[in-house]
Amino acid sequence: MERRTFLKTSALAGLAGVSQSNADLHAETDSKDKNATRTLTERLNPKIQRAREVALSMLKPSPRDLERGLRLHSESLVFDAYAFSPRAAIDGEALAKAVEAGASEIEIKDLREEMAMTRYATDSAEQQEYLDAWRASGVTCIFQNAGEEGQDPMRLIKRLARFTFATDILRDFVSKAAVPEDIVEAKRKGQHCLYLTGNGVPLTQQWETTTDEMKYMRIFFQLGIRMMHMTYNRRNMLGDG
């Protein structure tokens, strides 16, 4: 083979190889994009599907814009700065039994809250709906209110305990983030997480000094709380909300 012919043939072969590699890369990227956006649109429960249809009818995006928006959302680390994660339905039968057994109003309220905040960790049907809601949202992390208006430490710790329990049980899908890096890692794994906040500040209620009143804040931080509202819509001994 002549040298000129050999070089020409080699160059064409090289270009063909590069072209095929680029084609394979684009095909792989397109496949990943479709898989990523599919998680936001497939197997939606009726309420989510209805809400999506209403939004689309109002916004009227082009197919191209819709696909691009879904892809951008699915690829992004989405952090909801203050929200509430999906909740479970109340077990009406169990609630009725508690009422018949003479449960107090406070006990009924506590039972309802317990069910809403933890049944998705213990009931398979509720768990599936909970996981589907997370998947459809495309949200990586929620700054979750795990507290309550008030200043009694034991009152505040109940909700914190419930969200800690739920994220312990469902840690392979929705974990409790302790540091920002945990959120990045959850996104990398295709998982979700909660970053916990509290509406109330746990005060010792001994009224010795302001510093002493706030000493439980460190304990709540060690338990996983990452933000507290010093005066959430309420006046307390620290200030006015």
pLDDT tens digits along 123-177: 999 999 999 999 999 999 999 999 888 888 998 999 999 999 999 999 999 999 9
Give CA torsion, residues 59, 60, 61, 67, to 10 deg: 100
Q: What does the mean pLDDT of the chain come to?
A: 86
What structural domains and CATH numbers belong to the chain?
1-76 (no CATH), 77-241 (3.20.20.140)
Angle at 137 between CA 135 and CA 139, to 5 degrees: 90
Q: Tell me the mean pLDDT in the region 18-41.
A: 56
How confident is the model at residue 226, as a pLDDT?
95
Half-sphere exposure in the Cβ direction for 61 (13 Å, CA): 13
How confident is the model at residue 11, as a pLDDT?
47
**Amino acid at the residue 76:** S
Q: Strand pairing partners for 197?
A: 145, 227
Greatest Cα pair distance in the chain: 100
How confident is the model at residue 29, as a pLDDT?
41
**Distance in angstroms (rounded) separating the CA atoms of residues 6 and 61:** 53
Q: State pLDDT tens for residues 225-240.
A: 999 888 877 777 778 7
Sorted by sequence, the CB contacts under 8 Å of residue 29 that are 6+ apart come out as none
pLDDT-derived band at 7, boundaries 50, 70, 90:
very low
How confident is the model at residue 2, as a pLDDT?
58
How confident is the model at residue 33, as a pLDDT?
53
Better-predicted residue by pLDDT, 2 or 113: 113
Q: Does 1 score more than 80 pLDDT?
A: no
Closest CA to 157 of 236, 222, 80: 222
Q: Does 36 score more than 70 pLDDT?
A: no
Q: Does 19 score more than 60 pLDDT?
A: no
Q: State pLDDT tens for residues 108-136.
A: 999 999 999 999 999 999 999 999 999 99
Q: State pLDDT tens for residues 47-98.
A: 999 999 999 999 999 999 999 999 999 999 999 988 889 999 999 999 999 9
**Distance in angstroms (rounded) separating the CA atoms of residues 70 and 33:** 9
pLDDT-derived band at 18, boundaries 50, 70, 90:
very low
177: its two tokens: 């983030």
Prediction pTM value? 0.79
How confident is the model at residue 26, as a pLDDT?
43
**Distance in angstroms (rounded) separating the CA atoms of residues 106 and 92:** 17
Cβ–Cβ < 8 Å for 158, 120:
no
How confident is the model at residue 17, as a pLDDT?
53
